[in-house]
Amino acid sequence: MSSPPCAGVSIALVALSTEDNMLRWALAFFIVAIVAALFGFGGIAVASAGIAKILFLIFLIGFLVTLVLGLAAGRRVPPI
């Protein structure tokens, strides 16, 4: 039995939306860090920048994994 043709698309969309959310959170923490630094709250700025870096790295790793898996899936040759 094979899965329906749209199953792979829905899985890819879920992965994309998760990565997109992580990138948005990283951007939000980066903005908080910049604003906190402007107002002189050093501890909050450092903590927010650290969280933004971690979330961005998670996003980047997730993006690379899905990119490699997508390229690998696209190169499969169907059996004859």
Distance CA(45)–CA(57), nearest Å, equals: 18
Buried b (16+ CB within 10 A) or exposed e, 34-45: eebeeeeeeeeb
Identify the three-state secondary structure at position 79: coil
Distance CA(39)–CA(60), nearest Å, equals: 30
User: Residue 66: CB partners within 8 Å, gap ≥ 6?
Assistant: 12, 15, 16, 19
Q: How confident is the model at residue 12 (pLDDT cuts 50, 70, 90)?
A: very low
The model's pLDDT over 33-77, given as tens digits with 9 standing for 90+, comes to: 888 888 877 787 888 888 888 988 998 998 899 888 888 877 666
